[in-house]
Amino acid sequence: GIRGINGGQDASGSVLKLMIDGQPVDYRPSTGNFFGPELIPIDVIERVEVIRGPASALYGANAFLGVINIVTRSGESIGGVHLVGQGALVGRHPGGGGGVVMGGKSGPVDVIAGANFLYLDRSGRGLPSTSPLLPNDTLSARAPSRNDVAEPASLFAKLSLKDVLHGTLSLLASLQYLDAHGEYQSYGPLTHGTRLTELNQDYRLSYEVTPVERFSLTVSANYFNSSPTSAAQVDIGRTDYVLLPSEGADGFGFNVEGCIRAHRMLQITAGGDFVLEHHTLETWDQKLIAPVLSPAGSVLRATGTIIPGDAH
């Protein structure tokens, strides 16, 4: 929540606008954002800018409670290759990960790239005694959590080329990979079979030029693609099947923005956006984890059969 306002369960992902170098990187099927290690390698971050409060008039959709803009470093500030190691201990379960950040500048070319991976084992946890789901004999029998593993990964790269038609040409790529077993989802706590995997990709090509001292122009184009991976599944406690999510979104957009510094106390900015999105609305397929037998005992549908859900 921000300023005493709370949007409800899971709202932190969809009511805060999140950008990397001014480029929105929300997971389009749900308009949610990633705030964990899967967002961006932390060693490529220069600073984080935060606006508290509604800001949709300036920043567009989903800026209901605030805006977060991550400003990344330049390759020149890295000046080589940095290796990063991480260690973790959750209860008695060791974990860890690492990453690499590379960057440098040569003449008009400035490049930075980073990747990060983390492994956490959060198994062995039960519902707290204050949980509204208790007492529940079924949940108590399932406890504690098992194979509750998270393996988030992120990748970021940025290339800047100066003196292109008197301006700067930049290419940005951002990938977020969320991979976590969900032992405490509202639709099936401690079922031991839920796995949340989402791959989010954003790419942007931009050109910025200042033809005269008091006027600047920025033109950019971007492409995005967001969807669960084939490993995603939801266990709702059934013994005969699990659910497979089928959804996705991809699209592209253009942006033009001009700025005139008419006076030391007056700046005029005007711009336009165009975005085209294609969404596959969420449906749920069934994957059999037990065979379907006929009254005579013969196998009608084998284990592993996928029954498509209804598409709307």
Q: Phi/psi of residue 70, each to 5°?
A: -95, 120
Tell me what the mean pLDDT of segment 41-55 comes to.
93
Amino acid letter, 212: V
Comparing 9 with 61, the larger pLDDT belongs to 61
The backbone torsions φ and ψ at residue 98, rounded to the nearest 5 degrees and listed phi first, read 180, 180
For strands 241-263 and 266-288, give the pairing. antiparallel
Q: How confident is the model at residue 129 (pLDDT cuts 50, 70, 90)?
A: confident
Residue 151 has pLDDT above 50, yes or no: yes
Tell me the C-alpha distance between 195 and 301, whole Å.
24
Question: 65-91 burial by CB neighbour count: b if 16+ within 10 A, else e?
Answer: bbbbbbebbbbeebeeeeeeeeeeeee
pTM, to two decimals: 0.89
Considering only 29-38, 94-103, 214-223, 271-280, which range has the smallest mean pLDDT? Answer: 29-38
- CA dist 45 and 18 (Å) reads 14
- Is 209:168 a contact under the CB 8 Å cutoff? yes
The per-residue pLDDT for 1 is 65
Supply 226's token pair: 């967001």
Q: Are strands 266-288 and 306-307 parallel, antiparallel or unpaired?
A: antiparallel
- d(CA 49, CA 18) in angstroms, rounded, equals 10
Q: Count CA atoms within 13 Å of residue 103 on its CB side.
A: 25
Overall average pLDDT of the 86-97 stretch: 94
